[in-house]
Amino acid sequence: MAYRVCFVCMGNICRSPTASVVMRSMLADAGLDEVVEVSSAGTGSWHVGEPADARAAAALARRGYDAGGHKARQFSARWFDEFDLVVAVDAATAGELKRLARTQHRDRVRLLREFDPLCRAASGADLDVPDPYYGGPQGFDDVLDMVERACSGLLDELRDGGIG
Catalytic residue chosen out of the listed positions 108, 131, 149, 151: 131
| 19, 52 contact by CB (below 8 A) | no
Q: Give just the sign of the alpha carbon dihedral 100, 114, 146, 24.
A: negative
| 72, 49 contact by CB (below 8 A) | yes
What per-residue confidence (pLDDT) applies to 120? 78
Query: Known catalytic residue: 149?
Result: no
Could you give the number of structural domains in the chain?
A: 1
Query: Known catalytic residue: 15?
Result: yes
Query: Known catalytic residue: 131?
Result: yes
What per-residue confidence (pLDDT) applies to 123? 76
What per-residue confidence (pLDDT) applies to 156? 96
Catalytic residue chosen out of the listed positions 14, 15, 90, 119: 15
CATH number at residue 69: 3.40.50.2300
Continuous segment of H or E residues that includes residue 7: strand 3-9
| Low-confidence residues in the chain, pLDDT < 50 | none
pTM of the model: 0.96
56-78: b (≥16 Cβ within 10 Å) or e: bbebbeeeebebeebebbbbeee
Catalytic residue chosen out of the listed positions 9, 14, 119, 151: 9
Domain that holds residue 34: 3-160
What per-residue confidence (pLDDT) applies to 163? 65
